[in-house]
Structure 1
Amino acid sequence: MAVMTLRIPDDLDPSIRAAAAAVGMSLNAYIVRAARRQSVLDAAQQLSALGLGDDLAGEGDLL
């Protein structure tokens, strides 16, 4: 497992911590889930741009 240092703007920190707590997740798990979701969305958009993911086009945050 890789270890990364992540710098979060001071104004964003409280809302991320509160959101993680609200869903009963650790801060690390919450951030990993957000990064994983974004990487899936990015991949779907790349497939869509190539015309290979027409079934995924327009799904946005629903994935």
Structure 2
Amino acid sequence: MDTSFSAGIPLDTDEHADSYDRWFRAKVQAALDDPSPGIPHDQVMAEMQALIESKCKKGDAD
């Protein structure tokens, strides 16, 4: 899923804020409409903890 937002509009403008708001709402709606099964909270947390630990170990090696 592409989660990047780039409107090519200068930041700090109402136009940029409105564009971001539309983009964000579309992403949320797409997630709500997605029929695939969700991922259990405990599984997500375990995967994120493993990712954090691997990044910390990689940082220690530098």
TM-score normalised by structure 1 residue count:
0.39
Q: Hey, which of these two has a bigger chunk of helix by percent? A: 2
TM-score normalised by structure 2 residue count:
0.39
